[in-house]
Structure 1
Amino acid sequence: MSEIVGPLKWRLSFLEDVLEKIIGGGTPSRKVEEYYTGNISWVTVKDLVHHKISSSQEYITEKAIQNSATNLIPKGNVIIATRMAVGKAFINEVDVAINQDLKALIPNKNIIETKFLLYFLMNKSEEIEKMGTGTTVKGIRLEQLKKIRINVPSLPEQRKIAAILTSVDDAIEKTEAIIKQTEKAKKGLMQQLLTKGIGHTEFKQTEIGEIPEAWGVELLDNVATRKSGHTPNKKINNYWNGSIPWISLKDTQKLDNRYIRETTDYTTNAGIKNSSAVLLPAGTVVISRDATVGKVGIMGVKMATSQHFINYICGQTIDSRFLYYYLLSCRSIFKRIAAGNTIKTIGLPFFKEFKIALPPINEQRQISKILWAVDDRIEYEKKYLEQLGVLKKALMQSLLTGKVRVKVDENAEVTA
């Protein structure tokens, strides 16, 4: 089915009408180990991280393709998930084989551009996902896929639309790379600054490792006041929905982002007074001791916490930002000593005996200032990335529906 649609002069078609063919996939026998020793990318839904793919988690041989239902898909086509991650689509930048959860859409180049088809499917991904049926594993049938409706503008307009969206994707990719590189640099800086300090040439061996000669080793309890948390009675209404932020396991994902100011639940003064919960001052450093252990934050306002957290009110000889980064650097230690089958936990005796390397306060502030500046850059790039994502979504909704038209010379070639 194909018809010209209104003043747009776009052609309304079924997806199958703009394709040369649809190719399915399969899984070579796992019993034949040699099938998985080749150099041909065998793509599954586990590989659907980006909108383009040039590698995969597993590789197979030509013999595996010959003796299974999988197929080799030439590079430059659109592949979509019809099971598991229903609706996710990408372009394969190299020849790949696919499993049974994917379908390769081979576009008719006289009707539709590959990148335009990709962006159309990306824009429809949520709608396609909702078409999925099944209890354990969601999936859509081939006939459903074929009958998806698509508005198709002229090829020059398709190319221009694809070029605009590709430029945004390029900016997204570049920003993601900057974030990744900066986070890697931060990790290296933390390792260097929190063990070697700034400008030191003389070092000494201690019970927690080598540190600068001018540093000390202290029980954290000696330089910061440790406070536990508690949960006010959930059955008493006037203990809840107040104005005091109360950090619980629901807020774990908010940690590791420097300051925490908002929480899922809020308690009241009555809740604090009638429980073992403590109202802690802004600047208190909080660390999770249960479930996802070792997540750290600095309270940006007065707050309370549940019993799943340990809180440190910093004294005059320790800087809260320095302690934040120091505890972040100890994540592997916290994970290693956490015990429990269902929920991992760190017992209070560990925190009572926990020792840290302690530079002079001025050096602590220098160290935290350097790391804080790196985090500022990461935060800036993440916000920019979020803005790019919003822009891309808006552009797809406008350009791929014809709500906003692009100017093209119908006789000119436009490359994406």
Structure 2
Amino acid sequence: MTDYERTLADLPDDWAIATVEDLGSVVSGGTPSREIANFWGGTIPWVTPGELTSLNTKTLHLTNESITDEGLRQSGANLLPAGSLLVTTRASLGYCAINSVPVTTNQGFKNIVFRQSSNPDFYYHWSRKISSELKRRASGTTFLEISGSDFKQIKLPAPPSAEQQKIAQILDILDTQIQKNAALIAKLEKIKEGLLHDLLTRGVDQNGQLRPAPDQVPELYKKSASGLIPKEWEVRQLGTMSEIVSGVTLGGPQPSSSWPLVAYLRVANVQDGYLYLEQVKFLRVKPADVEKFRLIPGDVLMNEGGDFDKLGRGTVWEGEIEPCIHQNHVFRVRTFPELLDPYFLAYFSGSSRGKAYFVKSSKQSTNLASINSMQLKAFEVPVPPFAEQSAIVDYLRSYKKRLELEGRNMGKLKAQKTGLMDDLLTGHVRVTPLLKDAV
């Protein structure tokens, strides 16, 4: 018995089990000939699986392409009424959406037009549980695909209509909350980008407020190698404000078993603005090298290179593992106290201006780039007075905390939805008391 069959066997006794074709009609799609121009650009929406894999909502409103009435007649496409369940069954298996307007699909779908007694919203939520069954039934060498006959025979729960509707309503409410939270996070991220640019180019005044822009008060700014900067700032090379060290080189003679075993950070651990520490490796190194390469809180870690997105990316070490050293492909930048705030450096190096410098000065080959310590030392950083650096960092860190809070809220909402889906869709928790209360 498969996991899916066990799930069905554990459903409430008063829930029926039905096949897909018991619940509605299965309608496939098709693609009009691309060689005939008047088949395309009409008023009939036409959907591809790729549009569902990137869709973050239950309902599909718009499509990238459309076909004409003639294109519909001259192809295997079929017009689906609004409220159908679109299901991808070729290559990308099990992505679903409910169309808000009549649409057609290509041949990568098996779509369900439900009879009146079945609720499409309920089966949209149930589709999250069916992926293993779709993969089990699929076949193919180039890509997996489910035949129409196999798809029709997939078994689904069929609770009473009122229960289907109430379950879908509850899960829809959570989906709406998740979408609102995602939209808020996206908005905050966009604001953060603008805020980061403004703070790193305009800074804050003595009252902790963002300085007016140069076009508003030009007398507050001066020209520099980095463009216009506040008059109190200066531009200095990173090598004059920090100690820059490459890490331990792997390989070489067999290490002694008496040497200490320590954690070391690789390029994969140093992400853009954070550390990924779920997979940290260990190695034995000479005691002298432990002290030479040991990280201390406040060290800025920056990647030597690799893929373009890894070039120069980094973050601040906060003593997460002790002791810990770093690989030679990760630079350690230890800023001089009262001269350069490590968090200010991390924010600037991760900004668009910082990343542009690393790409421009790097040694590049196909899809790869790298910087050396000399180029990193020559990295020009606009430097506010130290107190202003700290104020800018506090500003950005408080905003980061807001984003992290919303991220945690998102995690809680998703966990809550997963739990409710497991309980409600399987009937382990019944909504029948809610139905009785509504009467």
User: TM-score if structure 2 supplies the norm length?
Assistant: 0.83
Q: Distance in 2 between matches of 1:286 and 1:149?
A: 53
Relative to structure 1, the CA distance from residue 242 to residue 374 in structure 2 (aligned partners, 3 Å threshold; closer, same or farther) is farther
In the alignment, the residues of structure 2 paired with residue 381 and residue 74 of structure 1 have an alpha-carbon distance, to the nearest angstrom, of: 38
CA RMSD of aligned residues (A): 3.1
**Residues 239 and 271, structure 1, Cα contact 8 Å, conserved in 2:** no
Q: Which amino acid in the other structure matches residue 185 of structure 1?
A: I
Correspondent of 2:332 among 311, 332, 335: 311
Structure 2 vs 1, CA of residues 315 and 276 (structure 1 numbering), >3 Å: closer, same or farther?
closer
5 Å-filtered alignment, 1:355-366, equals 355-366=380-391
Q: Does 1:84 align with 2:84?
A: no
Task: Supply the distance in 1 between the matched residues of 2:366 and 2:99 (Cα, whole angstroms).
Answer: 42
22, 27, 30: which one aligns with 2:26? 22
SS of the residue corresponding to residue 76 of structure 1 reads coil
Aligned partners of 1:35 and 1:63 also within 8 Å: yes
**Aligned partner of residue 198 in structure 1, secondary structure:** coil
Question: Aligned partner of 1:315: which letter?
Answer: F
Change in CA separation of 1:180 and 1:409 when aligned onto 2, cut-off 3 Å:
closer
Quote the residue 2:409 is aligned against. 384
Which residue pairs with 1:218 in the alignment? 236
Tell me how far apart the structure 2 counterparts of residues 352 and 250 of structure 1 sit (CA, whole Å): 23
SS in 1 for 2:430: coil
After TM superposition, the structure 1 stretch with the greater mean CA deviation from structure 2, 391-400 or 47-56, is 47-56
More displaced 10-residue stretch of structure 1: 286-295 or 378-387: 286-295
User: Percent sequence identity over matched residues?
Assistant: 27
1:4–1:11: 8 Å Cα contact kept in structure 2?
no
The 5 A counterparts of 1:362-373 are 362-373=387-398
- Given that residues 238 and 268 in structure 1 are in contact (C-alpha distance below 8 angstroms), is that contact kept between their aligned partners in structure 2? no
Q: Secondary structure at the match of 1:80?
A: strand
Structure 1 range deviating more: 330-339 or 179-188: 330-339
Change (3 A) 1:143 1:33: same
Q: CA deviation at 1:29?
A: 2.8
Q: Which amino acid aligns with 1:290?
A: G
C-alpha distance in 1 between matches for 2:394 and 2:13: 56
How far the C-alpha of 1:235 sits from its partner, in A, is 8.6
**CA positional deviation for 1:227:** 1.5
Give per-residue Cα distances to partners, 1:341-400, cap 9 Å, x unaligned.
Answer: 153323444323210111111111111111111111111111221222222122111111
Q: Which residue does the alignment assign to 1:185?
A: 191
Amino acid in the other structure paired with 2:29: G
Aligned mates of 2:358, 2:71 — CA distance in 1: 45
Q: Do the aligned residues in 2 keep the contact of 1:229 with 1:304 (CA within 8 Å)?
A: yes
1:154 aligns with 2:160: yes
Q: Deviations over 1:315-361 (max 9, x none)?
A: 12111111111111023443455411153323444323210111111
Q: Relative to 1, partners in 2 of residues 1:160 and 1:210: Cα closer, same or farther, differing over 3 Å? A: same
**Equivalent runs, 1:117-156 vs 2, <5 Å:** 117-156=123-162
**Contact map agreement 1:87 1:126 (CA 8 A) in 2:** no
Displacement of 1:167 in angstroms is: 0.9
Select the residue among 34, 43, 49 that pairs with 2:47: 43
Q: Deviations over 1:33-70 (max 9, x none)?
A: 56554454432222122233222344444443333323
**Which residue does the alignment assign to 2:4?**
none
One-letter code aligned to 1:311: R
Answer yes or no: is the 8 Å Cα contact 1:79–1:89 preserved in 2.
yes
Residues in 1 aligned to 2:263 and 2:429: alpha-carbon distance in whole angstroms: 44
SS at match of 2:350: helix
The CA deviation at 1:120 is 1.1
In the aligned structure 1, how far is the partner of 2:113 from the partner of 2:258?
57
What is aligned with 1:248? 266
Corresponding residue of 1:10: 15
Rounded Cα–Cα distance in structure 1 between residues aligned with 2:437 and 2:21? 27
Residue identity opposite 2:62 in structure 1: S
Q: Is residue 54–residue 92 contact of structure 1 (8 Å, CA) maintained in 2?
A: yes
Distance 1:311 1:115, change over 3 A: same
Select the residue among 298, 312, 331 that pairs with 2:355.
331
Inter-CA distance 35–345: structure 2 relative to 1 (3 Å threshold): farther
* Paired residues for 1:266-345 under 5 Å: 266-268=281-283, 270=285, 273=288, 278-288=293-303, 289-291=305-307, 292-301=310-319, 303-316=324-337, 317-329=339-351, 330-338=354-362, 339-345=364-370
- Map Cα deviations across residues 273-294 of structure 1 (whole Å, 9 max, x no partner): 5699822212211122222324
Structure 1 residue 15 displacement after superposition? 1.5
Partner residue, 1:354: 379
**Is the Cα–Cα contact under 8 Å of residues 231 and 275 in structure 1 kept in the other structure?**
no
23-32 vs 97-106, greater mean Cα deviation = 23-32
Partners of 2:158 and 2:252 lie apart in 1 by: 57
Q: Which amino acid aligns with 1:211?
A: I
Unmatched 5+ stretches in structure 1: none
Determine if contact 1:82/1:139 at 8 Å carries over to the other structure: yes
Choose the corresponding residue for 1:194, options 189, 200, 206: 200
Provide the aligned length of Structure 1 versus Structure 2: 407
Contact 2:32–2:39 (Cα < 8 Å) also in 1? yes
Structure 2 unaligned runs (5+)? 1-7, 206-210, 212-216
CA contact (8 A) 1:84 1:138 kept: yes
